[in-house]
C-alpha cells in the first residue's frame, strides 16, 4: 500500500519525520511540566567551542574582520548631546564563503549531517541560510534542497528572495519555491520523508552553537584591539538564533557585562502568512513578523524544541522603520565604502540611534553584515515596492503606514530607534508556555525565570494573573 502524502497525514507524522531527519530524540530532554533541559540539550547534541572553530575553519568560515565605522560615528555625534556618541563597529560577516553569518550555522549542520551518514541536506528558508547550506553542502559533496516561501497566489516573488534562490542554485542546490502559508512546512516535511535527507534546521543545537564562535570572536578581537569588551552588541533579530548564539559565545568568552540589544524592522500590522500582505513588505527577514512571535513562542520553529531562545539573553529590543534601514544602507556605502545587504543594516540603523545615548568612550558593535546582490539592492526593493502601490518619500519615519508607504528620514535627527516593552514580551512568553498547564510546579517557575530573564516575583505575578495554580 502506498504511503498517504495528504497534508493531514504528513503533518500527523511530523514527530517521527523530525526525529529521523535530525538525529535528536528531543523527548529525552523534556521535563514533567512545561519546560525542558535546554543546557543539557545544547551540551549533549552540540559541539564544544573548540570543535566548532575547527569545523568552521576547514571551510573558511569565521575569523571575519572587525571594522570601525569612523565616519558614521562622527556623523552620529553631530546629533548627540555633548559627550555622547559611542564608537560604532561592525563585524563584517559578509566575508564568510556564502556572504553571511549563517555560514557558521550551516558549517556545523552540514558537517554533522555528513558525520551521521546522510546523503543530502534540506533547509526550509527564504533567506541567507539556504545559500549557506548550499555552499557547505557543495564543499562536503552532499546533495542539497532548499525550500523557499517565495511568492503570493499571483506567482509574484520578491526580488530579495529571487536573488537568494539564484545564489542557492549557483552552489548547485535544487530550489523548490512555494507560496506563502502552510504549504512551505508541508513540502519540507514531505521531502524529508521521501529523500531521507538531513534536516539542516536553523534551530538545532548544532546550528545555534555554530553562532557561538561569532560571539567568542567578538570578545577576543576587541580585547586584542581595544583591551576590553564592547559595551553593547546589537543583533538583527528574526528567529532568534543570531542573538542567542552570539550572546552564548560572549558569555563563554567571559564578556558577561556586554549588553545584548535586539533590533528589528517594524512591520507591525502586516501578517507574514497573508497572501495579500506578503508583498506589501520590503524586508523578508529581520522584521517584527518573525522577531516578535519567535521571541514569545520560540518553539514555533521546525524542530520540537528550538535552540534559539532570544529572551533568555536579550537586554533591550528596539525597532527601526523600513525607510531608516534603506537610508542607512546608502550611508554605509557612500560614507564607509561598504555596500552590504539589509539584514545587518537593520542593526546598523538602530546602532546609529542607540550610540547617540551612549558615552563617547563606549563601544557599540553591529555583529553582522551580509552580502548584497541585484535583488537585495535598495533600488530593486524600492522599485518592487512602487509596483505594489507603496508610496516612497522623504519625511518623518514615525508616520510610516506599514504596507502603504515607506518614509525615508528627511533629516538624520528623525532616525530614532523605538523601544519595545520587554515586560510585555515576557508576559506573552509566560502566557504561551503555560497555556496548557493546569498546575505550575517549582521547576516550571525556575524554567520560566530563565526563559524570560526575569525575577521570581515577576513570573509568579503573571501566573497569578493567568489564574494558574501552584502545586
C-alpha cell at 48: 564544544
Alpha helices in 171-269 (DSSP H): 183-195, 205-225, 241-252
What CA–CA distances, in Å, run from 31 to 40, 156, 300, 446, 459? 12, 45, 18, 12, 18
pLDDT value, residue 1: 57
Bridge partners (DSSP) of residue 265 are 287, 320
Cβ atoms of 230 and 89 within 8 Å: the answer is yes
What does 72-139 look like in DSSP terms, one character per residue? HHHHHHHTSPTTB-PEEEEE-GGGSTTSSTHHHHHHHHHHHHHHTT-SEEEEE-SSHHHHHHHHHHHH
DSSP, collapsed to helix, strand or coil, labels residue 25 as coil
Question: Going residue by residue through the chain (471 aa), what tens digit of pLDDT does each one get?
Answer: 578 989 999 989 988 888 889 888 899 999 999 999 999 999 987 788 999 999 999 999 999 999 999 999 999 999 999 999 999 999 999 999 999 999 999 999 999 999 999 999 999 987 799 999 999 999 999 999 999 988 888 888 889 888 999 999 999 999 999 988 778 889 999 999 999 999 998 888 988 999 999 999 999 999 999 999 999 999 999 999 999 999 999 999 999 999 999 999 999 988 877 888 888 888 888 999 999 999 999 998 878 899 999 999 999 999 999 999 999 999 999 999 999 999 999 999 999 999 999 999 999 999 999 999 888 889 999 999 999 999 999 999 999 999 999 999 999 999 999 999 999 999 999 999 998 788 899 999 999 999 999 999 999 999 999 988 777
Q: How far apart (Å, rounded) are the C-alpha atoms in residues 145 and 119?
A: 11
Residue 354: enclosing H or E segment and its boundaries? helix 342-354
CA atoms in the 13 A half-sphere facing the CB of 38 = 21
Q: What residues have CB less than 8 Å from 159, skipping those under 6 apart?
A: 374, 375, 376, 380, 381, 383, 384
C-alpha cell at 444: 516550571
> Per the confidence metrics, is the pTM higher than 0.85?
yes
Answer whether 7-44+100-203 and 56-97+206-419 agree in fold: yes
From the number of C-beta atoms within 10 Å of its C-beta (0-12, 13-18, 19+), residue 188 rates as buried
What is the dotted CATH code of the domain comprising 7-44+100-203? Answer: 3.40.50.1100
Cα 339 from chain centroid?
21
Cβ atoms of 471 and 33 within 8 Å: the answer is no
Cβ atoms of 417 and 353 within 8 Å: the answer is yes
Q: How far apart (Å, rounded) are the C-alpha atoms in residues 35 and 429?
A: 12
Q: Domain-by-domain residue ranges, the chain?
A: 7-44+100-203, 56-97+206-419, 422-470
What is the dotted CATH code of the domain comprising 56-97+206-419? Answer: 3.40.50.1100
From the number of C-beta atoms within 10 Å of its C-beta (0-12, 13-18, 19+), residue 315 rates as middle
Amino acid at each position: 500500500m502506498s504511503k498517504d502524502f495528504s497534508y493531514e497525514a504528513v503533518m500527523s507524522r511530523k514527530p517521527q519525520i523530525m526525529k529521523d531527519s535530525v538525529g535528536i530524540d528531543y523527548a529525552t530532554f523534556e521535563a514533567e511540566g512545561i519546560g525542558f533541559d535546554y543546557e543539557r540539550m545544547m551540551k549533549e547534541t552540540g559541539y564544544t567551542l573548540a570543535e566548532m572553530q575547527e569545523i568552521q575553519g576547514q571551510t573558511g568560515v569565521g575569523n571575519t574582520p572587525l571594522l570601525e565605522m569612523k565616519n558614521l560615528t562622527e556623523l552620529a555625534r553631530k546629533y548627540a548631546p555633548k559627550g555622547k556618541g559611542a564608537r560604532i563597529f561592525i563585524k563584517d560577516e559578509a566575508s564568510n564563503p556564502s556572504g553571511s553569518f549563517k555560514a557558521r550555522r550551516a558549517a556545523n549542520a552540514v558537517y554533522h549531517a555528513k558525520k551521521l551518514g546522510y546523503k543530502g541536506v534540506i533547509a526550509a528558508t527564504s533567506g541567507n541560510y539556504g545559500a549557506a547550506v548550499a555552499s557547505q553542502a557543495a564543499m562536503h559533496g552532499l546533495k542539497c534542497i532548499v525550500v523557499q516561501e517565495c511568492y503570493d497566489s499571483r506567482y509574484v516573488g520578491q526580488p530579495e528572495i529571487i536573488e537568494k534562490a539564484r545564489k542557492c542554485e549557483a552552489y548547485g542546490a535544487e530550489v523548490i519555491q512555494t507560496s506563502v502559508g502552510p504549504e512551505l512546512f508541508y513540502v519540507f516535511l514531505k521531502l524529508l520523508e521521501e529523500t531521507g535527507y538531513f534536516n539542516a534546521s536553523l534551530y538545532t543545537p548544532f546550528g545555534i552553537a555554530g553562532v557561538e564562535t561569532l560571539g567568542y570572536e567578538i570578545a577576543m578581537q576587541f580585547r586584542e584591539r581595544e583591551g576590553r569588551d564592547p559595551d553593547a552588541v546589537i543583533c538583527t533579530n528574526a528567529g532568534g538564533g543570531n542573538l542567542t548564539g552570539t550572546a552564548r559565545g560572549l558569555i563563554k568568552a567571559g564578556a558577561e557585562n556586554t549588553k545584548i540589544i535586539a533590533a528589528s524592522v517594524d512591520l507591525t500590522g502586516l501578517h507574514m502568512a497573508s497572501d495579500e500582505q506578503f508583498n506589501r513588505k520590503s524586508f523578508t527577514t529581520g522584521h517584527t513578523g518573525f522577531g516578535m512571535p519567535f521571541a514569545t513562542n520560540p518553539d514555533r520553529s521546525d524542530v520540537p524544541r528550538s535552540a534559539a531562545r532570544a529572551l533568555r539573553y536579550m537586554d533591550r529590543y528596539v525597532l527601526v522603520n523600513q525607510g531608516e534601514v534603506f537610508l542607512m544602507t546608502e550611508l554605509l556605502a557612500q560614507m564607509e565604502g561598504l555596500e552590504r545587504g539589509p539584514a545587518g543594516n537593520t542593526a546598523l540603523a538602530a546602532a546609529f540611534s542607540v550610540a547617540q545615548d551612549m558615552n563617547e568612550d563606549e563601544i557599540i558593535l553591529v555583529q553582522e553584515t551580509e552580502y548584497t546582490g541585484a535583488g537585495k539592492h535598495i533600488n530593486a526593493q524600492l522599485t518592487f515596492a512602487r509596483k505594489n502601490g507603496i508610496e516612497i518619500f522623504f519625511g518623518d519615519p514615525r508616520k510610516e503606514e506599514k504596507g502603504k508607504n515607506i518614509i525615508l528620514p528627511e533629516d538624520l535627527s528623525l532616525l530614532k530607534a523605538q523601544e519595545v516593552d520587554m515586560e510585555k514580551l515576557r508576559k506573552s512568553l509566560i502566557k504561551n508556555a503555560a497555556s496548557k498547564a493546569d498546575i505550575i510546579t517549582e521547576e516550571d517557575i525556575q524554567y520560566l525565570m530563565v526563559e524570560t530573564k526575569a525575577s521570581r516575583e515577576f513570573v509568579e505575578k503573571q501566573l497569578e494573573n493567568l489564574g494558574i495554580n501552584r502545586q
